Amino acid sequence: MNWQQDLAGENPELELEVEQALKHFKASMDAWSDAALSRPRTVAKTAVRHGWRPAASWALGCLLAAGTLAGAVHQIVQRQEIARQAAQKAAQKAAEERAAAAQATAQPDKKAPAATTQKVSAAQDSASGEDEALLASVDSDVSREVPAAMEPLAQLMDDNGTQ
């Protein structure tokens, strides 16, 4: 059921009045929407604001990166300087030992160079003793049939490889 069926039987004047009211309302809504669509529109320009926080965060980030790089470069340079100083000390020590050895061979009858020669020969003997011990250790490790940790298990096995 709709309003026309309700009003059809009761009052024809009321039916005509409601119909005119609805037509006027429809016409006014059409006129209002046409006016709203046809009026000129202005677009508001948004102001671009650059805050100080993004700039500050970029600046602090760049400062942190530069500080990290500077620290790394400083550490590398410092290590190279320490290595250079150690190389100089080693070269100086080797030069002193060569000079002492040359002096000992040039003048064997003096007592002072003989003491230096004994020190040098003692150092060479201890170095050669360490070398021999290292070579013996390597030889024993290489000549083993099984690793040292596996020797108790190897003793359980027969010579032919069966249990």
Triad 134, 137, 143: Cα angle to 5°? 140
Reported as a pLDDT band with limits 50, 70 and 90, residue 3 is low
Q: C-alpha distances in angstroms, 122 versus 11, 104, 114, 115, 152?
A: 138, 14, 12, 10, 41
Phi and psi at residue 144, to the nearest 5°: -70, 145
The pLDDT score that the predictor gives to residue 102 is 85
The pLDDT score that the predictor gives to residue 119 is 57
Whole-angstrom Cα distance, residue 78 to residue 73? 9
Is 131 among the domain residues?
yes
pLDDT digits (tens, 9 = 90+) for 25-56: 999 999 999 998 888 888 888 877 778 888 99
Is 118 among the domain residues?
yes
Is 64 among the domain residues?
no
Q: Is the pLDDT of residue 16 over 60?
A: yes
Is 95 among the domain residues?
yes
Is 102 among the domain residues?
yes
Alpha-carbon dihedral sign for residues 56, 58, 64, 69: negative
Structural domains counted in the chain? 1
Q: Is the pLDDT of residue 18 over 70?
A: yes
Residue 95 CA, distance from chain mean position: 44
The pLDDT score that the predictor gives to residue 108 is 58
The pLDDT score that the predictor gives to residue 131 is 83
In our burial notation (b when 16+ CB lie closer than 10 A, e otherwise), range 53-80 reads eeeeeeeeeeeeeeeeeeeeeeeeeeee
Is 47 among the domain residues?
no
| Domain range enclosing 129 | 75-144
Is 48 among the domain residues?
no
Is 49 among the domain residues?
no
pLDDT digits (tens, 9 = 90+) for 104-161: 887 755 554 545 555 556 666 677 778 888 888 887 777 767 777 777 887 787 666 5
The pLDDT score that the predictor gives to residue 59 is 95
pLDDT digits (tens, 9 = 90+) for 60-106: 999 999 999 999 999 999 999 999 999 999 999 999 988 888 888 87
